[in-house]
Amino acid sequence: MQPRIEVLKVKKLVGLSLKMSLTNNTTAQLWGQFAPRINEIQHRASADKISMQIYPPNYYTEFSPTTPFEKWATVEVTSFENIPEGMQTLVLQEGLYAVFDYVGPSTDPSIFEYIFSEWIPNSNYTVDYRPHFEVLGTNYKNNDPNSEEEIWIPIRPKKKTDG
Digit-coded pLDDT (tens) for 68-120: 999 999 999 999 999 999 999 999 999 999 999 999 998 888 999 999 999 99
pTM: 0.93
Residue of 8, 9, 12 lying closest to 155 (CA atoms): 8
Q: List, in sequence order, every residue forming a beta bridge with 134; answer none if it has no partner.
A: 51, 151
Rounded Cα distance between 153 and 99, Å, is 6
Q: Which amino acid is at 30?
A: L
Alpha-carbon distances, residue 74 vs 8, 18, 31, 37 (angstroms): 16, 12, 9, 11
Q: For residue 30, is pLDDT > 60?
A: yes
DSSP assignments along 85-128, one per residue: TT-EEEEE--EEEEEEEEES-TT-THHHHHIIIIIHHHSSEEE-
Alpha helices in 7-108 (DSSP H): 27-34
Per-residue pLDDT at 163: 55
Domains identified in the chain and CATH numbers: 4-162 (3.20.80.10)
Contact call for residues 112 and 132 (beta carbons, < 8 A): no
